[in-house]
Amino acid sequence: MKETKVIELEEVAIRFSGDSGDGMQLTGTLFSDTTALLGNDISTFPDYPSEIRAPQGTVGGVSGFQVQFGQKQVNTPGDNANVLVAMNPAAIKANARFLEPGGTIIYDSDSFTEKNLKKANFATDDPFAECNLEDYFKIPVPISSLTQEGLKDFGLDNKSVLRSKNMFALGLVCWMFNRPLDYVEEFIKNKFKKKPVVVDSNIKVLHDGYNYGLTMQHMTPSYLVNPAEIENGTYRNINGNHATAWGLLAAAEKSGLELFLGSYPITPATDILTALSQRKDLGVKTFQAEDEIAGICSAIGASFAGDLAVTTTSGPGLALKGEAIGLAVMAELPLVIVNVQRGGPSTGLPTKTEQSDLMQALYGRNGESPVVVLAASTPSDCFHYAYMSAKIALERMVPVILLTDGFLGNGSEPWKIPSMADMPSITPRVAKDSEEFQAYKRDAATLAREWAIPGMAGFEHRIGGLEKNITGTVSHDPENHQVNSEIREEKVQRVVDLVPELEICGDEDGGDVLVVSWGGTFGHTASTVREMRMAGKNVSLAHFNYIKPLPKNTKEVFSKFKKIIVCELNLGQFVAYLRNELPEFNYYQANKVKGLPFTVSELKESITKLLED
């Protein structure tokens, strides 16, 4: 027997792919968690259809989960996969273009029947040739029949048996990448603790997959990816939606307020509602509203009543909340609005990522209606920016929109767990002196008003959506409206005191090209700039998390570079905003609206072109 070929790699990307009912998201998540626990840096990308169960075996129903892990810093899930696990022919067709040249394809040979090839619209019986995958290393494994064989004594019906075939694939991949099975076993035991037969059958199949790799090692290579050299500390794996939920919890604890979430389920933001609804132990009140409008309105009510109030949504929901955001602007109540962006317009691409709600966040309301806008840049830093959104809202009495996106929300990475003691303080502007109190009397420095909460004796007052004077009384006075409109804008601009300066990653004294990005594209722009700099190119990066107001030194940073290219997953919204705010610069653009993240290679191409021009 031939010895196993052990390949040592710095980083590797694996894509698990199958029918949306095949359990690929779970398989990918379990593999990622196992890998993160071993100390690799990881980045994940779930890519799934919006139908819960699209017709079985069709390309439209393919659900994928890509994870890249490495022994260095990993900022992206990888442009292309080194290894594809395909549970059916449709998965081959859907993923052929996401494969790294020379990559490995593991596939369930039992599912490559005439019927399934037809469902996936293959014209011949050689799907690999049709997809130009002849040169790839292919490992056919009869996953379905081996699963059936392994479970024949369990007394399960065929449908239940085949439900476990993802565990066979997972076991096999764990062997290939030298991952232990104990984490997965614990997960299965916990998840199905009330159904011992399900626990036993899944663990059996998992081991069968692992052992298959071990015994068939003449045909499968094994990979070694050493742990990453990352900062010392305690780590966990976290996705963006969980990090957002936990950042809000942290802000509530720090500020001494109760957390209230009013929300209506919407892809891909629902997981924040789910995560917070599980936290009754920490006193969170979650209100699943009858619609998006009631989601934000209940939050505004809770804010009026003294809670740290939040509403979460995605693009179409943000549109529905527009009028109520205006009310929060006018009433000057603290409120956090989280928008997990997805492909639009209208229903668009619900499960795909995009950055096309920036204009909506900045301007999508009637009247002069300024709000603070922040954007998180990695799954784990959603925690920090959710926390900062709450801090700004509470200290400045202003609504804050936090933009994340489907890529961040569902993607995960290892996260060095912070300590609450190290988090910045949050001091809500609760009114203290009822003699002095006026509803719209402002702090001279920040222009923030005070927060007087029902139940506080002597502070009874009225607020509302009508223009008002300093006491909160309705005012139609023309001068008053002009002054108040300017104050509301200026109040948002003064939040700049809380905004850290824009950092230049690269040449701090300036150079040829500055790559500008914002929000969820950080992993891809940072990887691009890092790789180009390693290749000797004069490229730097300025990545924005604070959109409105912009960091104080933005102009100074921009002026140090010969060329500026703004990269974003829309047709040019941030660049339009920059042209408006800082018209003295010439901006180049790299835009993409495919519902997918950038790839490092396409960004390199755009930037290289700019360097050469």
Partner 1 sequence: MTDVKYTIKDFKSENEVRWCAGCGDFAIINAIQRTMAGMGIPKEKFAVISGIGCSSRFPYYMNTFGFHTIHGRAAAIASGVKAANPDLSVWVMSGDGDSMAIGGNHFIHLIRRNIDVNMVVFNNRIYGLTKGQYSPTSDRGFVSKTSPFGTVEDPFVPGQLVLGARGSFYARSIDGNLKLSQSVFEKAAEHKGTSVVEVLQNCVIFNNGIHTAITDPNHRADRQLMLEHGKPMIFGAENEKGLVFDNGKLKVVKIGENGVTEADILVHDATEVDPTLHLALINMALPDFPVAFGVIRAVPAPVYDTEMEAQIKEVQQTRKVTCVDELLNSGNTWEVTGNPNGSSKKCI
Using CB under 8 A, which residues numbered 18 to 37 contact partner 1? 33, 36-37
Select from 301, 443, 560, 576 the one that contacts partner 1 (CB under 8 A): 301
Any idea what DSSP says for residue 442? B
> Within 424-463, which residues bind partner 1 (CB under 8 A)?
454-463
Tokens standing for residue 422: 């190290």
Candidate residues 196, 283, 345, 424; the one interacting with partner 1 per rule CB under 8 A:
283
For the bound state, the minimum distance from the C-beta of residue 441 to partner 1, rounded and expressed in Å, comes to 16
550: how many CB neighbours lie within 10 A of its CB? 19
**Beta carbon nearer to partner 1, 193 or 462:** 462
Q: Does 75 bind partner 1 (CB under 8 A)?
A: yes
* Span 522-561, contacts to partner 1 by CB under 8 A: 526, 529-530, 533, 541
CB of 148 to partner 1, least distance (A): 32
Q: Which is nearer to partner 1, 75 or 116 (CB)?
A: 75
Q: Of 258-277, which residues contact partner 1 (CB under 8 A)?
A: 258, 260, 262
Contact 91, 119 (CB under 8 A): no
Q: Which stretch binds partner 1 (CB under 8 A): 55-63, 266-274, 280-288, 580-588?
A: 280-288
From the list 50-58, 107-115, 346-354, 409-417, the region that binds partner 1 by CB under 8 A is 409-417
Kindly write out the interface string for residues 30-69 of this chain, putting x where it contacts partner 1 by CB under 8 A and - elsewhere. ---x--xx-x------------------------------
166-225: contacts with partner 1 (CB under 8 A): 183
Contact letters for partner 1, residues 230-259 (x by CB under 8 A): xxxxxxxx--------x--xx--x----x-
Closest CA to 108 of 212, 182, 31: 212
Of 64, 134, 58, residue with least CA distance to 89: 58
Euclidean distance between CA atoms 512 and 307, whole angstroms = 49
Residues 104-163 that bind partner 1 (CB under 8 A): none
Query: Vertex 345, ends 344 and 347: CA angle to 5°?
Result: 75
Q: For residues 520 and 353, is the Cβ–Cβ distance under 8 A?
A: yes
Identify which of 386, 391, 392, 358 has the alpha carbon closest to the alpha carbon of residue 372. 392
**Pick 99 or 329: Cβ nearer partner 1:** 329
Task: Provide the minimum distance between the beta carbon of 416 and partner 1 in the complex, in angstroms, as a whole number.
Answer: 7
What minimum distance in Å lies between the beta carbon of 468 and partner 1?
Answer: 10
Q: Is the separation of the CB atoms in 592 and 343 below 8 Å? A: no
120 near 142, Cβ under 8 Å?
A: no
Residue 534: CB atoms within 10 Å: 8
| 297 vs 402, beta carbon nearer partner 1 | 297
Contacts to partner 1 from residues 320-339, by CB under 8 A: 323-324, 326-327, 331
* Number of amino acids touching partner 1 (CB under 8 A): 84
For 232, counting Cβ atoms within 10 Å of its Cβ (0-12 exposed, 13-18 middle, 19+ buried), the class is exposed
The residue (of 234 and 580) whose beta carbon lies closer to partner 1 is 234
Q: Which C-beta is closer to partner 1: that of 200 or that of 531?
A: 531
The candidate with the shortest Cα–Cα distance to 520, out of 601, 603, 407, is: 407
Contact indicator for 426, 254 with CB cutoff of 8 Å: yes
Task: Report yes or no: 440 and 405 within 8 Å, Cβ to Cβ.
Answer: no
Cα–Cα distance, 268 to 181 (Å, whole number): 30
What is the spatial distance between Cα 338 and Cα 477, in angstroms, rounded to a whole number? 35
Residues ≥6 apart with Cβ < 8 Å to 247:
382, 383, 384, 385, 386, 387, 390
Q: Tell me, what DSSP letter sits at residue 356?
A: T
Among 287, 440, 451, 577, binds partner 1 (CB under 8 A): 287
Q: How far is the CB of 540 from partner 1 (least distance, A)?
A: 9
Q: Which is nearer to partner 1, 250 or 557 (CB)?
A: 250
Can you tell me whether residue 50 is helix, strand or coil?
A: coil
For partner 1, what does the binding mask look like between residues 367 and 386, x meaning CB under 8 A?
A: -----------x-x------
- At residue 516's C-alpha, the angle toward residues 510 and 520, to 5°, is 140
Give the span between the Cα atoms of 482 and 306, in whole angstroms. 29
Contact between 292 and 266 (Cβ < 8 Å): yes
**Binding residue for partner 1, selected from 152, 193, 195, 280, defined by CB under 8 A:** 280
Among 24, 300, 338, 447, binds partner 1 (CB under 8 A): 300
State which of residues 359, 465, 486, 501 lies at the interface with partner 1 (CB under 8 A). Answer: 465
Tokens, residue 473: 């009384």
Distance in Å, CB of 302 to partner 1, minimum: 4
Write down the least CB distance from residue 464 to partner 1, Å.
Answer: 3
